[in-house]
Amino acid sequence: MSDSVLIRGAFIRLTKVTILASAAYSTFGLCLNQQAPPQNLVNQTKPNILLIVADDMGFSDIGSFGGEISTPNLDTLASDGGLKLTNFHVAPTCSPTRSMLMSGTYNHLAGLGAMAEWVADNQRNKPGYEGYLNERVAPLPALLKDAGYHTFMAGKWHLGMLDGQGPDSHGFDESFAMLPGAGDHYSDRGLFPFMAKTPYRENGKGVTLPEKFYSTEFYSDKAIQYIDEAIKGKEQPFFGYLAYTAPHWPLQVDKKYSDKYKGKYSAGYEHIKAARLEKLADLGLIDTHGTHGSGNACYPQWQQLSSVEQAKQARLMEIYAGMVDALDENIGRVVQHLKDIGQFDNTLIVFLSDNGADARPEQGLADEAKYVQKTFDNSMQNMGSANSFVSYGGAWAQVSNTPFSLHKGMVNEGGIRVPAIIRLPKHQTSENNESQTLTEFTSVMDLLPTFIDLAGGKLPGTEYKGREVLPVAGKSILPYLRGEQDYVHKNEAYGFSVHGRQGLQYNQWKLVRLPAPFAKGQWQLYNLDEDLGETRDLARQQPKKLREMIARWDSFAKETGVIISDKNVKTPKECLIEQRSELVSQVYE
C-alpha cells in the first residue's frame, strides 16, 4: 500500500490515508535522536508556544471539523494559515492523555496506565500505574525551561494530587491548577459525597476561588496574566499550557450561551449526525462512500424517547453547545491578547481535545445518582446553572464524535481520535496563508519532541539531571508540517489500553478488544482505509492478519508494561478514601 502524501492547500479524504503509529522502544520505531534546529530558525527569536487543551470535546463539535456550534475563533486558527490534523490520536481518557503529553511516551510507562480513580487491584503499586506523573520521565515544562522558556499553566492538572506531584514540581514557573479530573465550573464545591471541596493550587499553595468564578473565563484570565508576566522585562519566550475543563461535565454555562441554541437539537441525534456528515464531506474530511460509526445499541434512538425525554435531551445538548461556544469565545480573547501585545506572529498555537466526547449518564454513575439527585437541582428549567449537575449521555457523545464509533473510554476512533489545530509562527507559515488539512497519523506523544525541536532544545535520552528516565517515544512533526517529508511514522505500532479495553494500530489495520456490553471481549479487526467507522469486523475473514496483529499487541504490551485490569476495579470513592490520610491538608476537608 502506498504512503499518503501531504496535500498543500487542498483536502484529502480520511479513508484513503495510511494509519501509522508511534511506539515506546526501538522495536516500535523509537526516535531517540531528533533533528537539529532548522536553518530558517537560526538568528531568529525563539517562538512562544501556547498549548490549548479542551476537555472531552468530540471530533466534529467545532465548525471547521463539521459541527454546527459557533466556534469562529478556532475556525479562524484553522483557516488563516492554520493546519488541521485530522488523524491525531490521544489516549481513551483524560489523565492517560495528559501523561503522554507531558512525557512524550506511553501512559503505561509514565504513571497513568490507569486513571488514579480506577486502578485495579492487580495494577496497584506497579510501575507505570502509580496514578501520577512518575519520576521515570523528563516532563515537558522542565525541558522547555532548560531550553530558556518561561513556563506557566492554567487549568486542569489531573496528574497527581499530593505534595511533589503538582505542576510546580514538574517545571512550571507559574501555575494555577485544579488538581483532580473534574470540578464544578462555578465554584470549588465538590461534586461527590467523598469530595466536599475541589482542591486548587497556585504555585503549589492552596487558594480560595473568587466569588465570581467560571472556569473557562477564569483560566483565560490567568493565562493572559501569566503571558504578561512572562514577557514583561524578560528576554525569553514562554510556554503556556491552557488546560480548560470545558466541556467536561457537569454541563454548566450562562444561559446567554446555551439559549443561542434553543430548538437547534429538537430534531434529535440522527438528524444532527446526518448534518455533520454532510458538512464533513463538503469539507473533504470524509469519503462520501466510506463508513461511519452507526451508533451503539447501548444507547437509544431519538424516536424511542418520549416527547418529554426528547425535550430534556435537546436541552442538554443546547447546554453542551453553549459550553463549547463560551470556550471558543475565551480562546479568542487569549489569541486577541497575543495580537494586542505583538506576540501572535511569533507564537506556535496548538489546540486539541484530550479524548473523545464522554458518554457519562445524565446524572452520573450508579453509585453517584442518589447523591446527585439529593444535592443538585436538575429540573428542566435549572439544568446548566451553577447548582445543577448533568451530563448529556452516550447518544449525544456519539454524535459529537461523528464520523467515528463510540466515545471516551473506548479504544475505538471515537475515543482516541480528536480535533487538532496547529498554527505555526508567521515566519514558518507558507506564503499563500491557506488552510491545510494534514492526514498522516500523529499522536499526543509527538508534541513534546515537536516543541523541543522548535525551541532548539535537546531530548534527554535515558538520563535527566542525574536520574535514569525513559526515552521519548514520539517524534517531532515539524518536518511534516513544513512539507519536508510526507509522513511522521511509518510501519510503527501504536497501542492503547485502559480499564479493560485494548487496541493497536499498525498502518491501516486496527485491533480492538472491548468488554461487555459493547462487545464480547474478543479481538476485533478493522481496515481503517476501507472502514473508518469500524463497522465491519474482519477477524474471521482475515485470520492470518488477526494473528499478526495480536502478535504485535503482545510485543507492545510486554515492552510497555501493560497490565490488563482484573475485575476488582475500585470506585473513585474507595480509591480516594484509601489516600485520604496521605493527601495534603484541606484537599477534601
Question: Residue 233: pLDDT band by 50, 70, 90 thresholds?
Answer: confident
* Interatomic CA distance for residues 48 and 50, integer angstroms: 7
The predicted-structure confidence for 234-263, as pLDDT tens digits, reads as follows 778 999 999 999 999 999 999 999 999 999
Could you tell me if residue 526 is inside a domain? no
Cβ atoms of residues 252 and 388 within 8 Å? yes
Q: Residue 89: give its domain's CATH number.
A: 3.40.720.10
DSSP letters, 313-330, are: HHHHHHHHHHHHHHHHHH
pLDDT score, position 194: 76
Please check whether residue 579 lies inside any domain of the structure.
no
Q: Which of 94, 248, 292, 575 is catalytic?
A: 94
Most confident of 201-205, 375-379, 520-524: 201-205
Q: Is the pLDDT of residue 100 over 70?
A: yes
Residue 465 lies in a domain: yes
Q: Is the pLDDT of residue 301 over 80?
A: yes
Note if 158 is an active site residue. Answer: yes
Instruction: Grade residue 45 by pLDDT with cuts at 50, 70 and 90.
Output: confident
Higher pLDDT, 32 or 329: 329
* Helix-strand-coil split of the chain, %, nearest 5: 35, 15, 50
Alpha-carbon distance of 337 to 222, in angstroms, equals 12
Residue 355 lies in a domain: yes
Residue 480 CA to residue 48 CA, distance in Å, equals 20
Of the two residues 77 and 18, the one the predictor is more confident about is 77
Residue 456 Rama label (left phi>0; alpha psi -120 to 50; beta)? left
Question: Tens digit of pLDDT for each residue in 361-373?
Answer: 876 654 567 778 8
pLDDT band at residue 424, thresholds of 50, 70 and 90?
very high
- 487 falls within a domain: yes
**How far apart are the C-alpha atoms of 396 and 265, rounded to whole Å?**
10
Residue 294 backbone phi and psi in degrees, to 5: -90, -5
More confident site: 2 or 529: 529
Domains in the chain: how many in total?
1
Catalytic residue among 158, 292, 407, 489: 158
Quick check: helix, strand or coil at residue 351?
strand
Please indicate, yes or no, if residue 35 is contained in any of the structural domains.
yes
On whether residue 258 sits in a domain, the answer given is yes
DSSP string for residues in 384-449: TSTT-----HHHHHHHHTTTSSS-TTSSSHHHHEEEEEEE--GGGS-TT---EEE-S-EEGGGHHH
Residue 69 lies in a domain: yes
Give catalytic status of residue 427 as yes or no: no
pLDDT average, residue stretch 397-410: 95
Interatomic CA distance for residues 414 and 425, integer angstroms: 31
Helix H segments across 269-357?
269-282, 307-340
Residues 42, 457: contact at Cβ < 8 Å? no
Mean pLDDT of the chain: 87
pLDDT interval class at 475 (50, 70, 90) = very high
pTM value is 0.89
Domain carrying residue 106: 14-496
